[in-house]
Amino acid sequence: MKVNEFASDMQGERYSDVQRIDTGRIDQLLKSGSVDMCEQTVKAFFEETGFFQIESLLMRLYVAMDLYILVRVFSKDLGVPYEEFVKRFGSIDDIETNFIDSEGAVRFFTEMLEQCIRWRAEFSRENRNETIRKTLKYIDENYMQEDISLKSAASAVNLSSTYLSALFKKEMEMNFSDYLSHVRIEKAKELLCRTSKLVSEIAYEVGFSDYRYFGQIFKKYTGQTPREFRASSNRLG
């Protein structure tokens, strides 16, 4: 039974504020707030619901259960295992022990929200790292395709081009096109050193449709033309 359903059946209890319970402030904090906002947000939530004026422990528990469930669902969506959550904060059946006094209730939920925000940051980093890993793998497997692009890479990792562009530049300290050119030139250098293929063949093999443009990009990255690079590599070899 939800808090507002339970409240309608209560008699002789001052629960008008509880009927207007709104967890939107907590939800917003979890999604985009910071750790230093947790305590004041919890206090404001309890004040708005009239939590500390509720005489019935049962009514307090229903308010707390809604909050607990909201936070647990958020942590679950992040990927936090149920066992890890319960190890830190107990199960929903244990929350009564945290309401001996108002300070205990505030402290309990403040710590819970703070930890969830830390989890959010931790899992966000892991997701960013995984996205970059997948993008680099996509480039490595498709650099030879002429039509490979930021858009096709973004589609491969299920992100918008704008978001992937910003994330890639932040994590790799270069933009997508520069990294793609770097990979292509490194592959071309290997082919120039290890094979006798024509420069035009190598250009097409690493994803350039115009071998003259390939020569310009190659010199930009190496300071030599492809032929000069091959000749110097042969001398060193």
Q: Is-contact 229 235, C-beta < 8 A? A: no
CB within 8 Å of 82: residues ≥ 6 apart:
76
Q: Which of 51, 155, 59, 147 is nearest to 105 (CA)?
A: 51
The three-class DSSP label of residue 110 is helix
**pLDDT per residue as tens, the chain (237 positions):** 444 443 444 334 444 444 456 788 899 999 988 999 999 999 999 888 888 888 887 888 888 888 999 999 999 888 888 998 999 999 988 888 887 778 888 999 999 999 999 999 888 888 889 999 999 999 999 999 999 999 999 999 988 898 899 899 999 999 999 999 999 999 999 999 999 999 999 999 999 999 999 999 999 999 999 999 999 987 665
Tokens standing for residue 91: 């199960």
Long-range contacts of 75-78 (CB under 8 A, 24+ apart): 75/116, 75/119, 78/116, 78/119, 78/120, 78/123
Give just the sign of the alpha carbon dihedral 171, 172, 174, 180. negative
